A and B are shown apart, each in its own frame.
Chain A
Amino acid sequence: MTARSGWRRPPSARTQDDRGIVSAADWRHRRVRWALRVVQGATLIFLLIVGLGPLLWMAKSSITPTQDTLRTPMSLWPHGFDLSLFATAWTRTHIDRYLLNTVWIAAGSWIVQIVVATTAGYALSVLRPRFHRVLTGLVLATLFVPSIVLLVPLYLTVVDVPLLHLRMVDTFWAVWLPAGASAFNVIVIKRFFDNLPREIFEAARVDGAGPFQLFWRIVLPMSRPIIGVVSVFAVIATWKDYLWPLLVLRNPNLQPLSVRLPTLQPTTDLGIFIAALTISSAIPIALFLLFQRLFLRGPGLSGAIKG
């Protein structure tokens, strides 16, 4: 996919092998080499236990009988498997419906975010209307406002949209539209557009392309990598969201998994519940494994997402 290949980290100036904390000379000492292997091996084991362990426990508990998980949570399959837990979670606990809600919410938020970020990035970077500096500043400024400040007034805005007097509570719009107001997306996309070669725009203009052709036929196709990056992060962020959908989606039939799971827990059999947890983390984990490089390539994106 272009999203993966386009964002490779530029080759580092440092040749990895001999110019780090441990120099080639250090590496030649047997004692150093041995100590290093032990430290790294221990770190790997630590990461396996801590990073993967809880998830493996979750996966295991969603295919073992509930009684086993309750009595001996740390033993491996004392009484065999119970493969019906997933099916029960899917059908009788209606995880299918809540998963579909989550997918809907993520898809709609994704579209709104991409539309707002690409059009805004194009306007601020390429078209540059008279007030583009002020607008960019206003977008940037929202990055410095802690999201908690928005919580209550945004809720009241969604309850009664100013000027239009619409009530968006208990519709997906209440999640979709506010998702678009992501300064991070706009700034990242604008920066990318800023770096596109202007000569191509000039050439397109000489050939008679208007602003819409330029956007649709030239800027967007050239920006597939960054749109891919923003998309993956947008989907995962919506998937993780809890507080906002909890506030604006009061109707259980519309709630996503993240909101539904805590309310389901007291009335659901433990094994079935853990199977539901496994289902709801499967998609973000799959996205992560597919697009690993986007997540692990550095602070630019993974670190700057606003909490």
Chain B
Amino acid sequence: MASYADRDVIPGVAMKRWPRVRARLSRDGLSTLVFVLPLLVIFGAFSWFPIVRAFVMSLQETNLVSEPTFVGLSNFSRVWADPLFGIAVRNTAYFALLALIIGFPIPIVLAVIMSEVRRGKGLFSALAYLPVVVPPVVSVLLWRFFFDASPTGVFNTILGWVGLGPLPWLQDAASAMPSIVIEATWAGAGGTVIIYLAALLSVPPELYDAADVDGASIWQKIRNVTLPQLRGVLFVTLILQLIATAQLFTEPFLFTGGGPANSTTTVLLLIYHYAFQNSLGGEYGMAAALSVMLAAFLGAFTAGYFWLTRSWSTSS
């Protein structure tokens, strides 16, 4: 089996280097380079370079025709002066708040109930997770039928059974965003349920035993043992959810395209609008500037959040 080595690398090189290579498993040898190369090429071209380029671009005037020129912070000031910017920020914050109110408690309640199911637990979690695997585009297009504002729309028919509605759902500036949040919660809650279920499994059973000895009721055990034990996970999922909602694109884009009356224009839709929906050619600089601003805000927010909650989340 002596021919192993030279079949792989250029024969001459391999023969010469082999003893050293063999001694240290080819530290920095040619074969190592072969294995690192895909990482370097793919990450270099499609991850590291674009990340750096985003920051550079935010300071440049870029179009696809002429060489980019540095324009200082003018992209940022133009974004800042855009009346849509304030609207988009407000809408995104409103979306995040609604998603927090509607979407955050539901998975906790579901997971706590499901953790005590003794038979058929798999069925429960499979049902909860099912919407997560449906492609987002399919969910949105399907829910557009459900949200049909006419009295014969799916949800309005159901509301009609109990004598309510019809509601305008997506067609009214006041109800468009809550409607999108309902769909987004449906599409995302299952993933969070699974995370909580795993976290609930790792609660030390001795704590429940101790609570039993003290004569705690089920409700007291949930309040004083389960929820405090989940605290660390809840802090992480909360910030992950906020980061995800700030970057939501498919739902508002396909449900309403930002309307009615810009009531669902989010920061991401605005970035898309700057770069790809511009009749005068892409405002790539402004789009990059807004992306950088969003990323900087999310980074600062996350850092601040962990700094503020560091004492609470580690004490468990």
A116 / chain B contacts, CB cutoff of 8 Å: 38-39, 42-43
**A77-B276 Cα distance, complex, nearest whole Å:** 44
B288 / chain A contacts, CB cutoff of 8 Å: 152-153
Decide: B53 and A156 in contact? CB cutoff 8 A: yes
**A53-B164 Cα distance, complex, nearest whole Å:** 21
Question: Residues 62-75 of chain A: 1 if any B CB is under 8 Å from the residue's CB, otherwise 0?
Answer: 00000000111110
Interface pick from B83-91, B115-123, B169-177, B307-315: B115-123
B117 / chain A contacts, CB cutoff of 8 Å: 40
Question: Residues 106-133 of chain B: 1 if any A CB is under 8 Å from the residue's CB, otherwise 0?
Answer: 0000101111111010111111111111
Answer whether residue B265 sits at the interface, using C-beta atoms and an 8 A cutoff.
Answer: no
- Within 8 Å by CB of A284, from B22, B134, B141, B198, lies B134
Answer whether residue B250 sits at the interface, using C-beta atoms and an 8 A cutoff.
Answer: yes
Give A73's nearest chain B residue, CB to CB.
B154
Main secondary structure of the interface of A (DSSP, over half): helix
Decide: B154 and A262 in contact? CB cutoff 8 A: no
With A12-B201, A258-B135, A296-B122 as given contacts, are A19 and B128 in contact (CB-CB < 8 Å)? no
**Chain B proximity of A138: nearest CB distance (Å):** 7
**A146-B297 Cα distance, complex, nearest whole Å:** 11
A240 / chain B contacts, CB cutoff of 8 Å: 135-137
Chain A 200-254 residues near chain B, CB threshold 8 A: 201, 205, 207-213, 215, 236, 239-240, 242-243, 247
**A278-B160 Cα distance, complex, nearest whole Å:** 27
Answer whether residue B194 sits at the interface, using C-beta atoms and an 8 A cutoff.
Answer: yes
Answer whether residue B249 sits at the interface, using C-beta atoms and an 8 A cutoff.
Answer: yes
- Within 8 Å by CB of B138, from A25, A144, A281, lies A281
- Give me the interface of A with B, judged by CB distance under 8 Å: 12-17, 19-23, 25-26, 32, 36, 39-40, 43-44, 47-48, 50-52, 54-55, 57-58, 61, 70-74, 112, 115-116, 119-120, 122-124, 126-130, 135, 138-139, 142, 144-157, 159-162, 177-178, 180-181, 183, 186, 201, 205, 207-213, 215, 236, 239-240, 242-243, 247, 257-259, 261-262, 265, 270, 273-274, 277, 280-281, 284-285, 287-289, 292, 295-299, 302-303, 307
Q: Which 7 A-B pairs have the closest CB atoms?
A: A19-B205, A120-B39, A298-B198, A153-B50, A123-B35, A153-B53, A181-B47
